């Protein structure tokens, strides 16, 4: 009996081993299938370290925040063009070093903006720090050297801001976040600009440095300054004590400054599909430096998108099989100032765009666990958005499809192209501030976005 029991036990061990082995093979096959879902583009070529290396480079001090029209922005354009050349993308005919230059108004600060509360004797009793405590949302159309020293006035109802209200004329208005949260900045500015007030200070939960817009200098415009909630409370207290506030800001304006988009082409192999471009875009500009030795790196916004775009280009170029359709890569300038670079390209395309699609990557690969938002423009064709959401499901990427604006996909959607934006909406981790560093970007999640776009190209650009 003992000998028979041993034989049965040995038989059971063999059966368990074989079952385990077969199960392991099945599991391995599933993983392998997931890895090989992209049939034509070799995703093994994706280099996570290269991806994060580009993010680190573009968000470094060398480029000083990459604001359009600055030396740092020009240096960033040269860096991207150098990588286009290294990848061996085609330099479009008529462009010098991949650069499509276009004119835009560039406004830069001359010195550090200052905001303070005056004491009873008109001496400064409290100074606030630019970027930490306040940022500029609108400048003055009257002067390039703003010097305001005025009484404060607390607005209890937005209806108080009108030309007939003599109480607010010549004063700095205090507008709480609760009063303005459901109004756009432009709506507030329209009230302010016709009121006769000297300017306004608006409370806000989180501050974000904003590029200086040329439109601020058109028509009637007065300063609007965002302040954090603690600063707003101090200003309200100063108002209650009858104190004044002072705001100083000097800036320079340069019209028709030629700034570059950077454009490179990977040609398709099928002559019949030569006008069906897949446009892969990401803006490379950001909001510059802060006149106090600090700068806004723009790691997530949008060194991440540029890195993903460059890695997609490199993988496709090094791939054994070239796509049948041409793939056009564009690093856009002037996005932060109002989508200026992409608008220019959409209006002055180097290649035909009527039969093209556009994929925009903006703030991708956030270190925060946020879903990838896939956004199309309302009232426009959403097929591309829906298709890419389906591809996310197949790749196991947590994604949500929505309507969304505020990036370069808009410029192409309004020209009739099927366009989409990919974005991780992380606005709480240093957005438009010195805190938006490469640490805000996760290389694994950034690689997911690269795979997604490669998967789309794999399904739609190969015969």
Return the structure tokens found at 196: 């006769």
Q: Are the CB atoms for 299 and 441 separated by under 8 Å? A: yes
Tally of CA atoms within 13 A in the half-sphere of 378 that contains its CB: 5
Tens-of-pLDDT digits for all 463 residues of the chain?
333 333 434 444 444 444 444 444 433 333 333 455 889 989 999 999 999 999 999 999 999 999 999 999 999 999 999 999 999 999 999 999 999 999 999 999 999 999 999 876 656 689 999 999 999 998 887 889 999 999 999 999 999 999 999 999 999 999 999 999 989 888 998 999 889 999 999 999 899 998 877 666 666 778 999 999 999 999 999 999 999 999 999 999 999 999 999 999 999 999 999 999 999 999 999 999 999 999 999 999 999 999 999 999 999 999 999 999 999 999 999 999 999 999 999 999 999 999 999 999 999 999 999 999 999 999 999 999 999 999 999 999 999 999 999 999 999 999 999 999 999 999 988 999 999 999 999 999 999 999 999 999 999 999 8
Return the structure tokens found at 186: 């432009």
Which DSSP string corresponds to 365-429?
SBSS--PEEEEE-TTS--HHHHHHHHHHHHHT--EEEEE--SSTHHHHHTTT-EEEEEE----SS
Give the pLDDT of residue 26: 36
Q: Which one, of 56, 207, 238, 220, lies nearest residue 134 by Cα? A: 207
CB burial of residue 429 (10 Å; 0-12, 13-18, 19+): middle
Query: How many Cβ atoms are within 10 Å of 355's Cβ, its own excluded?
Result: 12
Return the structure tokens found at 173: 């208005």
Return the structure tokens found at 231: 């600063």
The 3-state DSSP class for residue 31 equals: helix
Give the pLDDT of residue 123: 65
Longest dimension (CA), the chain: 109
Give the pLDDT of residue 118: 86
DSSP E strands in 62-170: the ranges are 99-109, 114-118, 124-128, 134-138, 145-154
Q: Are the CB atoms for 282 and 420 separated by under 8 Å? A: no
For tokens 């609108």, what's the residue?
A: 138
**Sign of dihedral through CA atoms 96, 98, 100, 105?**
negative
Q: Are the CB atoms for 376 and 420 separated by under 8 Å? A: yes
What stretches of 88-219 show up as alpha helix (H) in DSSP? Answer: 177-180, 185-193
Q: Are the CB atoms for 425 and 301 separated by under 8 Å? A: no
3-state secondary structure 287-312: CCECCCCCECCCHHHHHHHHHHHHHH
Which pTM does this prediction carry? 0.90
Give the pLDDT of residue 217: 62
CA distance linking residue 117 with residue 197, whole number of Å: 18
CA distance linking residue 9 with residue 3, whole number of Å: 10
Give the pLDDT of residue 139: 87
What structural domains and CATH numbers belong to the chain? Answer: 39-90+267-460 (3.40.630.10), 108-253 (3.50.30.30)
Return the structure tokens found at 390: 């389906």
- Total residues belonging to the chain: 463
For tokens 């159309």, what's the residue?
A: 141
For tokens 């969304």, what's the residue?
A: 404
Tally of CA atoms within 13 A in the half-sphere of 45 that contains its CB: 18
CA distance linking residue 446 with residue 230, whole number of Å: 36
Q: Convert 75-104 to b/e letters by CB count within 10 Å (16 or more is b).
A: ebbebbbebbeebebebeeebeebbbebeb
Give the pLDDT of residue 216: 63
CA distance linking residue 177 with residue 233, whole number of Å: 11
CA distance linking residue 310 with residue 331, whole number of Å: 9
Give the pLDDT of residue 119: 74
């Amino acid at each position: 009996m003992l000998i028979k029991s041993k034989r049965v036990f040995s038989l059971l061990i063999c059966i368990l081993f074989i079952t385990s082995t077969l199960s392991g093979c099945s599991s391995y096959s599933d993983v392998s299938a997931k890895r090989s879902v992209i049939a034509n583009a070799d995703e093994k070529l994706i280099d996570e370290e290269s991806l994060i290396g580009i993010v680190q480079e573009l968000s470094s001090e060398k480029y000083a925040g990459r604001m359009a029209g600055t030396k740092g922005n020009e240096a960033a354009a040269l860096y991207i063009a150098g990588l286009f050349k290294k990848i061996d993308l085609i330099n479009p005919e008529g462009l010098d070093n991949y650069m499509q230059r276009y004119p835009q108004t560039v406004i830069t600060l001359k010195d550090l903006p200052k905001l303070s509360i005056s004491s009873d004797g008109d001496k400064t009793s409290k100074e606030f720090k630019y970027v930490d405590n306040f940022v500029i949302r609108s400048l003055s159309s009257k002067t390039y050297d703003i010097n305001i020293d005025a009484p404060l006035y607390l607005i209890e109802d937005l209806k108080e801001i009108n030309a007939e209200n003599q109480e607010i004329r010549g004063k700095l208005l205090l507008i709480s976040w609760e009063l303005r949260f459901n109004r756009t900045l432009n709506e507030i500015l329209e009230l302010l600009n016709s009121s006769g007030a000297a300017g306004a200070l608006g409370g806000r939960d989180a501050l974000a440095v904003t590029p200086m817009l040329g439109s601020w200098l058109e028509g009637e415009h007065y300063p609007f300054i965002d302040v954090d909630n603690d600063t707003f409370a101090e200003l309200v207290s100063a108002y209650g004590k009858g104190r004044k506030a002072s705001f100083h800001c000097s800036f320079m304006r340069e019209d028709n400054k030629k700034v570059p988009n950077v454009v490179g082409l990977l040609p398709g192999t099928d002559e019949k599909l030569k006008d069906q471009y897949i446009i892969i875009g990401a803006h490379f500009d950001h909001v510059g430096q802060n006149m106090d030795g600090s700068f806004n790196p723009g790691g997530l916004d949008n060194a991440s998108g540029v890195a993903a775009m460059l890695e997609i280009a490199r993988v496709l170029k090094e791939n054994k099989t070239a796509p049948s359709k041409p793939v056009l890569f564009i690093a856009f300038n002037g996005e932060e100032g109002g989508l200026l670079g992409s608008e220019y390209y959409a209006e002055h395309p180097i290649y035909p765009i009527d039969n093209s699609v556009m994929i925009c990557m903006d703030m991708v690969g956030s270190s925060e666990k946020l879903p990838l938002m896939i956004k199309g423009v309302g009232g426009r064709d959403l097929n591309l958005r829906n298709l890419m959401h389906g591809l996310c499901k197949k790749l196991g990427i947590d994604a949500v499809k929505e309507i969304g604006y505020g990036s370069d996909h808009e410029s192409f959607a309004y020209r009739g192209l099927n366009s989409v934006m990919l974005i991780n909406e992380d606005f709480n981790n240093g957005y438009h501030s010195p805190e938006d560093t490469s640490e805000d970007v996760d290389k694994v999640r950034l690689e997911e976005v690269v795979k997604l776009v490669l998967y789309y190209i794999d399904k739609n650009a190969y015969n």
